[in-house]
Every structure is written in structure tokens, then in C-alpha cells.
Amino acid sequence: MTEPWTDERVARTVLGRLASAGAGDEVRGAPPGFSVEDRAGLAAWLIGHDLAGLGFRVAREADPPLADLLAGAALGAAAGNLSHFETLSRIEERLAKERIPFVLLKGAAIAGSAYRESSDRSMSDIDLWVRPEDMPGAVAVARDAGLRQVAGLPDRPPELQRHSGGELVFRHLRRDHGIVELHYSAFQGWWVRRAAEADAESLWERSVPMGPGRHARRLSPEDAILHTAFHLVVNQLRQAPLRGLMDLGVLSRAYRIDWEAVADRARAWRLATAVWTALETADRLVGLPGCAPALARLRPGAPRRAALRGLVPRRALLAGRDVPARVRRHLLMLALVDRPRDVARLVGRTLWPEPWWLDARYGRRVSRFGHLFGLMRRGEV
């Protein structure tokens, strides 16, 4: 996939317009740069970035021939969302009956709250955050709803997922959509545990109901910004990064964001560089109204900014290209760590983990040398 424009500013105009429409602004005519000559290219680009639903709704008003090109993908994405939301409805009803609280995360939460139309925002699964003590009950509910647990990746056994705040994955026997992930925490993975100190408990306390009469809760708008930013960078801006950046653009327009609180929390959690990287990229490509003071407070030093610019090339994001090599992705994760001593801890514990981590990872007694040798053999060092 390549971007259908030669100028990043044109992309920003188009993406900003989409974000405004996503947040509920009236669509009035075509924005500058929206009606490009190469409509097929623009349609393919929007579809490739999972933005067909939002693009279709805007194009219906602004550029009907473009809407025609997007209709198939948009209807398909809407059908996928229908399936996901039907599954969510059944799970939510059962969790309410069992009095198991949960917070809806990521796509389903943002599509169902910040976007004007839930079909604007495609999703690949449904992410539910439950308290660790409620996980057995939530697993029983998922099974009762007709879902079956999917075996995790070999390097992510369930016990390790529990320690890392990871997830258990469930899916229907026959359906491709309606995949449910039950998360132990809002912040998953070893990077955040080794290199930062994110306060997931405070996110839970600030969460709000999805809507009147709903059992499901969602993150507060500020926490949704932080969580989306964290999720984007911890995945090295892969997995539909423009859709994630669009989420930030829509959240910042749909709510009156307290950007000071965003900056305060990111700094307290030692996620300043990570959050800055995501917000700065979103601000340049989509536009985040009012975020400038927060960006100024989170901005890392000039050398690190230069390194991050090289590691997160915006042109590559627009063109749909991943941060390429594994080595480069590792460098990015190191460059995102706020404190130098956390870099040492992250690298040290990755190569030389705690005995309980080895037990959880391998399910049997493995020495640290054995673990290190395995990493080297797999080319992960």
C-alpha cells in the first residue's frame, strides 16, 4: 500500500476531517484535498488502513463516487461489527447476572462511545478487562455464551499472561467474528512492567458506564487517550496504526480532554516518552486540538526526539509500512523508556529473569542460562 498523496499536510487535512466527522461534526462538502483525482487509490488506501467505514460515511456527503468505491468494504466492516457487538451483548448480559464488573477497552469501547456511529470504527475483537479474582467467573461466562478458549502462543502460556496482565482469548466455534479477549489488566506486557509504573487501579476507579443502563464500563476520556497511546507504541505502531491514531483524533474531539491530567499521569507512570511519541505522531497526522501544552510537558530531549523520528517514520505509517526490522523495533522499545536505569532493568530482566518468571514461561524448571541460550538460538538477542 502506498499513500495517495505526496504531501503530508494533505493527508493531515483529510485525516483531520475524518476525525471531526467521526466525533460527530457535520460533514459539509469536500475538504481541500479530499476529492483527489485518483479516487481508486484513495479508496484502496482507506480500506488498507481499516478506515473504510468512516471514509464511507464522510464520502457519502462529500464525494459520492468515492463512497461507491468504499461501500463494499464499509458494509463488510459494519457486518463484522454487528457480529462483535452481538457477542458483547450476550457476554455483558451474563456478566451482569453474575455481578462481575468489567471495563471495555480499545475498539469496542471507543467505537461505542467516542465515534458518532459505531460502524465508523472497525474492530477485530472485543477486549474486556476484569479483575484477576473475577477471571474464573468471567471464563465460565464466556464458555456459557458459546465461546471456546483459544490456545495461546507457545511463548505466552496462561500463567505468564496472568503475571504480565495479558489476556485469555475466546472465539466462537464457527464464526470468525465475535472474538473475545479477557484481560487481566489494562496495561499488558513485560515492557510496561519492567520499564514503567502504570497505575491500572486508578484507571479502573475512574472508569465510567458505557451508557445508561449498561453494565459495561469504559475508561474516562483522559485514560482512554493514555491507554490508546500506550497500546499504539507498545505494538510499535503496527496493527492498523492509522486507525489507532484516528482513535486519538476522535477522542480529542469528542470530549473536553483535560490535557494537564494526561501529562501528569503519563509522567507519574514513567510513560512520558511513549505517550509523547503516540500523541505527537497523531497530532502531526490527524491533529489533536488543545494537546500542545501536554506535548510540551512530555517532550523528551532533542537527541531522543531525533532517534524516535528515525524509528517512527511518519511517511512509512501513512504508506502502511511497519517499522521494519526486529532490531529496529527493539531499539524503539528501548528509546521509549523514560529513565536510563529502567532501560538497564528492562534489558537485564529480559535476559536474566526472575525464577518465578521462568517457571511461568516454561512450565518446568529452566535455568537462566537455558533461557538466555534459547533467546540467542532464536535470534532474539
Partner 1 sequence: MALLHGSDRARPKPGVLCKILGSQAVLLELESETYFGLNETGTRLWALLMTAPSIREAVDTMLSEYDVAPAELERDAAALIDELIDRGLLRVERA
Taking the complex as a whole, how short is the minimal distance between the CB of residue 46 and partner 1, in angstroms? 15
Residue 146 as a binder of partner 1 (CB under 8 A): the answer is no
HSE (side-chain half, CA atoms, 13 Å) at 172: 14
177 touching partner 1, by CB under 8 A? yes
Judged by CB under 8 A, the residue of 10, 75, 316, 347 near partner 1 is 75
CA dihedral sign of residues 78, 229, 128, 155: positive
Looking at the Cβ atoms of 39 and 57, the one nearer to partner 1 is: 57
- Phi, psi angles (nearest 5°) of residue 181: -115, 125
Name which of 79 and 306 has its Cβ closer to partner 1.
79
- Is residue 155 near partner 1 by the rule CB under 8 A? no
- Provide the CA 310 distance to its chain's centre, in angstroms: 22
Distance CA 9, CA 15 (A): 10
Q: Looking at the chain, how many residues does it have?
A: 381
Is residue 90 a contact residue for partner 1 (CB under 8 A)? no
Selected from 5, 34, 45, 56, the binder of partner 1 by CB under 8 A is: 56
* Burial class of residue 168, CB neighbours in 10 A (0-12, 13-18, 19+): buried
State the nearest-atom distance from the C-beta of 68 to partner 1, in Å: 10
Considering the complex, state which of residue 78 and residue 319 has its C-beta at the smaller distance from partner 1. 78
Does position 81 interact with partner 1 (CB under 8 A)? The reply is yes
Closer of 120 and 223 to partner 1 (Cβ): 120
C-alpha cell at 214: 449498561
* Residue 180 CB burial class (10 angstroms; 0-12, 13-18, ≥19): buried
Q: Which stretch binds partner 1 (CB under 8 A): 54-62, 224-232, 275-283, 367-375?
A: 54-62
Q: Is 36 in the site for partner 1 (CB under 8 A)?
A: no
Q: Is 25 in the site for partner 1 (CB under 8 A)?
A: no
For residue 372, the one-letter residue type is L
Closer residue to partner 1 (CB): 119 or 277: 119
Shortest gap between Cβ of 211 and partner 1 (angstroms)?
18
Q: Is 174 in the site for partner 1 (CB under 8 A)?
A: yes
Exposure string for 23-44, b = 16+ CB within 10 A, e = fewer: beeebeebbebbebeebebbbb
Residue type present at position 349: R
116 binds partner 1 (CB under 8 A): no
Closer Cβ to partner 1, 72 or 363, answer by number: 72
Distances (CA, A) of 136 to 105, 215, 291, 356: 19, 19, 40, 22
Shortest separation between residue 76's beta carbon and partner 1, angstroms: 7
* Stretch binding partner 1 (CB under 8 A), from 80-88, 131-139, 217-225, 325-333: 80-88
Amino acid occupying residue 4: P
Closest to partner 1 by CB, 57 vs 217, is: 57
Distances (CA, A) of 79 to 124, 277, 347: 12, 33, 44
According to CB under 8 A, which one of 57, 183, 217, 253 is a site residue for partner 1? 57
Enumerate binding residues for partner 1 (CB under 8 A). Answer: 53, 56-57, 60, 71-72, 74-76, 78-79, 81-83, 86, 117, 119, 174-177
